[in-house]
A and B are shown apart, each in its own frame.
Chain A
Amino acid sequence: MKISTQQLFNRGLEAIQDVTAQQQKTQLQLSTGKKILTPADDPVASTRILELNQELAINSQFQRNVDLAEGNLNLQDDLLGSINSVVQRVRELMITAGNGALSKNDLSAISTEVKERLDQMAGLLNSQDASGEYLFSGFQGGTKPFQEDISGAYAYQGDEGKRFVQVEPNVTIATTQNGKEIFQDVKVDKNTFYTAASPNNQAVPAASITTGQVIDQEVYDEFYPSDMTVTFTGPNQYSISDKSTGRELLANQPFSQNSPILINGIQFEIVGSPVVGDSFFIESTAKQGVLTTIEKFIYTLDNFAPTPEGRAVFDENLASSISNLDSAETSILESRSQIGARLNTIETTAEQLKDVEILTKEILSNLESIDYAETVSLLSVQQFTLEAAYSSYSRITSLSLFDRL
């Protein structure tokens, strides 16, 4: 077949261009270290690479979450440790107070320290993290979880919220605990109650209800677990009813400020000037917050009557306080062991995440990284080819019969 002169030149040049383009690609592969330069080079592998990179990004986020969770949990663990040591100090004071030889003055000295310990404890329970969020108030991070009400008793203001972080696909771990489950829901040895004012009360300033105490446990146990509602039915006049059955327990009693209301073996006071329609709740419970336990201990210390009967009441209340404080300590320890368990899980998760990361990177590198030895030798082959093409081109094109004419 005849080869035209044009063809001779064109084909030679095209061949050189082809090799140059191949060499350029090899050079790019070498300089980026990647086999696949655009998805078209290997559509399936490049999609996989994209997915693996996404997986790596998520993995790194999970690792960050794990670190944060670990930090948070460690912080809480330290805090619970400090709280526990306060609890232990108060328990020591309780044991000391049980010494029958102590005088009223000695007891009041103990009371002074316990009051300080109470404030210290409340301070710890109201701890904030670095960004100012309260650690133990559930979802309401902006609300101080343990606040003194008008009557000076600490009440829990938070909720039962718990924050989770994602540490693995489909796995979340709680990084916070609310104050209610650790410090409030503490089982006590005797049935007790707590008081609250209805949020719908209209009196300005709002009237409050004191913590109150059980005066006659036997009578109260009979009423337990029913709850009571105090409703103001007229000016300075109130009725008390059983919350669930509606049974009227006391009807239209005259109300005078600060004078104790006694019913079903318990005693409490309503402070302020409630208006008609205001209501207060007395809720039976077998649980008592650790702060309340300490408050009740203070009440016991402060109201010690140096008579045989007084001593008997004192001893009974003290025994109850010690037992309740022990329950609180157990609850705190349970929380700490839960935190420990979570920290364990987190550690395992962190290792798993690392393993997955290494594995993913390995797959990724198999897919996208070049084999340097192979590519470099390819480059030299291409170089050699190109040089051969150059020299053959110039030789062939320089041949012409016209030169011989």
Chain B
Amino acid sequence: MGDLIGIGLSGLRVNQTALSVTGNNVSNTNTPGYSRQEAIFVDNPSLLTGAGYLGQGVNLATIRRNAEDFINAQLRSDTTVYNERDVFLSQAESVDNLLASTSTGLTPAMSNFFKAFQGGADDPTSVPQRQLLLTQSEGLVSRFKSLDTRLNAQMRTIDFELEAAVSEINSLSQSLAQLNQSIAVAVGAGQGDQPNALLDERDESLRKLSELVTVSVFPEGQSGQLNVFVGNGQPLVLGNSAAQMQAVESPTDATQKEVALVINGVSNIISNQLSGGKIGGLLEFRDNNLTNAINSLGRVALVIADTVNKQNSLGMDLESNLGGAFFKDVNDTELARSRVLANSLNTPPNDQQLQVNIIDSSELTSSDYELRFDGPRDNDFIVVRSSDGETVSKSILPGIYPANVEMEGFQIQFDAGTFKVGDRFTIRPTKTGASDINLVIDRVEDIALASPIRANAHEGNTGSGLVSLGKMLDVTNPITNQVLPNFSVPGQLSPPLEIEFLTDTVYQVLDMSDPANPVPLSPPINNQLYRPGVTNTLFTADPGESKLSALGGDSFQVPLPSLSTGPLVNGFGAQNLSLLTRDLDTGVVSSQNIAIAANSSAENIAANLQNIQGVQATAYTRVRLENFTDNGDASPLVLEINGETLTLPSGVTASPDALVDLINENSILQNLNVYAVSSGTALEIQATTGKDLQIVVGGVGDSVDVSSVDPYNPGALAISTQTVSSGNGVKVGGAIDVTLADGISLTADVNSVFEQAPVGESTYLGFQFEIKGQPKAGDSFTIAYNTGGISDNRNALDLASLERASTIGGGVVSYGEAYSQIIEEIGTVTNRARLDTEAAKALLTQSEDNRESISGVNLDEEAGRLIQYQAAYNASAQVVSIARELFDTLLNTFR
């Protein structure tokens, strides 16, 4: 009977406890992280009786917590992924909305800017139109700046969020360490019973931690403690001690935050090892997408500033001055310096001075770069492109300042300082482009809508030659960065040029500073061949082209041999010429040699030179004949030119006027390209292909003075005049003008025809003109400064056409296309993030459902359990009551 009471009481006790457990479940229905608990019943050990083993009631084995570690681990992993994608998506969406909106995007401002240039081209003198242009330029600048500000503000927001996440991690890791300790104690005290509430709390803390960053969790032996690791195994919580995380300034950019872990008092940056969770999402978006968006936007701004500046400086403003910068110069020292950031971990004294200059904005990428001094020597360095880790330059500092190294559209200029192995610098060519763009033009008159050059055909021209309006290439020589001499004096072309046709197919270009007395240029542009029927381009487009001339070197003289001494020679010495060609891309120098035999004609030498790629040579011979002295005897003065005897009608004495037509009408001489001009007293004979001119005088006792004309200074004669008397002759050699393309130089072994190391003069004028049609001998064209050309809109058209020009990314896309690319990129990223987030959300939901199905509380279930346990409790009470009744019955029996 006592047994029965005991059994009933055990049922009462155990079911009451079970009811408490159920009640606890009901009240914790909404507690985050709570795991449903279950009272586990066992029947007490049976007692051996005569009838066999008799049950001894029930006992509570334990209160079990319904939790599965692997499901919790799965939940943590899915939480990490979801939070990473979710935070990434919200950041991406904010940029996405910013860039594409018509009210905040760049497109309307850019399109208005170029529309204003079109308007300027329509009416270049209109001040309101120019004012509109300035206003729209300000609009473009402010749009760039506001976009940049918003993107950078997002950068700051991300930093704040990183800081918040780090402090949350710290408090979670702290509480995890404490929980570990409490759990270890409780497990010991519980002797096998688990501290369910503490375990729930710890699991929930771990789940919260996994919202922030990927964590790996490992149990520490049998103590019940868990160790938590982040990144590539960096310990965050070990037993009951927690490491501290920090948000620290980035050594590469003090304005940016990185995540560091303090281990043994040392702070180590682990940003690049962290993934997953909010921190992973924030870092990924910031370091890849946001930085790229800022850089790409900066690149568009920088290229616009650079190209518009270049074009505006090629123009002429309303006051007939050359146009200047439109936006702030992209290579302004302050801006150039700000493109380099020294790593804060560099070896002191940190005295290095560097700057980054933009060389060719069309070649710029949107990546950052790192300049690394990785050794082995202090001056060995490499430059690594951050976007793909590719090494784009590898070189050695020469030790002399300033030193330059060029790559991908920019140039690193080392100005001063000591560099040590391990030093690093962040190079950001485009990052600040959008914040650096500034309007420097502030007067409407300064907008250069006109072109500074114009050409006119002479009103007296008799041919049909037409000269083009001209095309400006440069105002400064792009190689030397010096202002070209012809634009060195403001408001004029120095010198103005005259293109003069000597024959229908030969022209020369002269300095027209004094219109009454045009003189050859320096270097000369003499004896140029004109091809009728095609468009002839005047002047070079090669800024490195140079020209040198030879008047036959030391041997340029008119020898006076007698006819009887044998064949006449021009007296040019023998010479070996070597032409060095430096390949502009590779720097490889190759050499070619030409051997010139003695007494070669200028025409021959030029033809030899012409065979070499990049070399243009023109040769021409000019001779002046004066003082025709005929002694009046029976044999008149007779001239023989290159074997052609010029026979005058009888009774006509030889004179320039009498001979000029004989020469010009002689078909053999015409075929030799020889023609003559008479000034009444002198006869000037020219061979336009550089043939030697051989003049032999006949007639007894007669003579003619022969001089060779210096083609570079027609007033002076190259040599003192020689009197050639009858029976004698001379052979005169010509001049050679050699034009060498960029990278080619000429040297000679002896001073003969050419100087040993002749110095070429630059032929680059910074503009080109075209002539077509058929000009006639005597026609001329002038090229002058476009003074007063206020109605000219050529530069405005060029400025407006920049809108569609392929100026970005290696000359592949236009400004607008480059901006569209940014939007497309961010759009694609956002779109992908949306899908990723949805997928992660689905996985997370599934994990949550899995956990809930095991650990969650269902009130219906609990209600059922309550009824169940209550029934058992009632029944147990009945058992006790029955036992008591049995007892009473027994007692009454003995009463």
Contacts and interface: CB of A to CB of B under 8 A. Distances in A.
A244 B517 CA distance: 10
Given A166-B797, A286-B462, A133 B125 contact: yes
Nearest to A53: B107
B864 A198 contact: no
Contact of A4 (B96, B828, B853): B853
Contact of A39 (B99, B515, B853): B99
A53 B115 CA distance: 14
B571 interface: no
Contacts of B677: 244-245
A26 B787 CA distance: 62
Nearest to A169: B804
A137 interface: yes
A44 to B, nearest CB: 7
Interface in A1-53: 1-7, 11, 38-44, 46-47, 50-51, 53
B394 interface: no
Considering residues A3, A161, A172, which has the most beta carbons from chain B within 10 angstroms of its beta carbon? A161
Interface string B88-116: 00001100110110000001000100010
Interface in A140-166: 140-143, 156, 159-166
A184 B859 contact: no
Interface stretch (B273-281, B355-363, B448-456): B448-456
Contacts of A47: 820-821, 823-824, 827
Contacts of A400: 859-860, 863
A139 interface: yes
Interface in B818-848: 819-821, 823-831, 833-834, 845, 848
Nearest to B824: A47
B867 interface: yes
Given A50-B820, A225-B778, A160 B460 contact: no
A402 B863 contact: yes
Contacts of A405: 863, 866-867
A162 to B, nearest CB: 7
Contacts of B794: 164
Considering residues A53, A139, A194, which has the most beta carbons from chain B within 10 angstroms of its beta carbon? A139
B788 A142 contact: yes
A401 B450 CA distance: 89
Considering residues B460, B684, B803, B867, which has the most beta carbons from chain A within 10 angstroms of its beta carbon? B460
Contacts, number: 243
Nearest to B92: A40
Contact of A245 (B678, B788, B820): B678
Considering residues A160, A285, A287, which has the most beta carbons from chain B within 10 angstroms of its beta carbon? A160
A179 to B, nearest CB: 12
Interface residues of B, number: 89
Nearest to B870: A405
B817 interface: yes
A351 interface: no
A139 B679 CA distance: 39
A229 interface: yes
A54 interface: yes
Given A139-B789, A161-B469, A279-B516, A166 B118 contact: yes
A2 B828 contact: no
A301 to B, nearest CB: 26
A226 B778 contact: yes
B640 interface: no
A139 B852 contact: no
A100 interface: no
Main SS of chain A's interface residues?
A: mixed
A279 B36 CA distance: 114
A65 interface: yes
B96 A39 contact: yes
A61 interface: yes
A247 interface: yes
Nearest to A280: B516
A212 interface: no
Contact of B30 (A6, A231, A244, A287): A6
A165 B121 contact: yes
Contact of B852 (A3, A132, A286): A3
Contacts of B460: 193-194, 225, 227, 283-285, 287
A141 B824 contact: no
Contacts of B630: none
Interface in B197-219: none
A189 interface: no
A138 interface: yes
Given A133-B125, A242-B679, A143 B816 contact: no
A43 B828 contact: yes
B791 A161 contact: yes
Contacts of A3: 849, 852-853, 856, 858
Given A245-B677, A402-B863, A58 B459 contact: no
21 contacts: A2-B854, A3-B853, A7-B849, A40-B827, A41-B827, A46-B100, A50-B816, A61-B118, A65-B118, A139-B786, A140-B788, A142-B790, A142-B791, A161-B469, A163-B792, A164-B794, A166-B797, A193-B460, A199-B515, A287-B459, A405-B867
Given A2-B858, A198-B516, 12 more contacts: A38-B100, A43-B824, A64-B122, A65-B122, A133-B790, A156-B459, A161-B469, A166-B801, A169-B804, A245-B684, A248-B681, A404-B863
**CB-based closest 10 A-B pairs:** A4-B856, A39-B827, A141-B791, A43-B827, A40-B830, A139-B789, A401-B863, A139-B792, A247-B679, A283-B460
Interface of A: 1-7, 11, 38-44, 46-47, 50-51, 53-54, 57-58, 61, 64-65, 68, 131-134, 137-143, 156, 159-166, 169, 172, 176, 180, 184-185, 193-194, 198-200, 225-227, 229, 231, 242, 244-248, 279, 281, 283-287, 400-402, 404-405
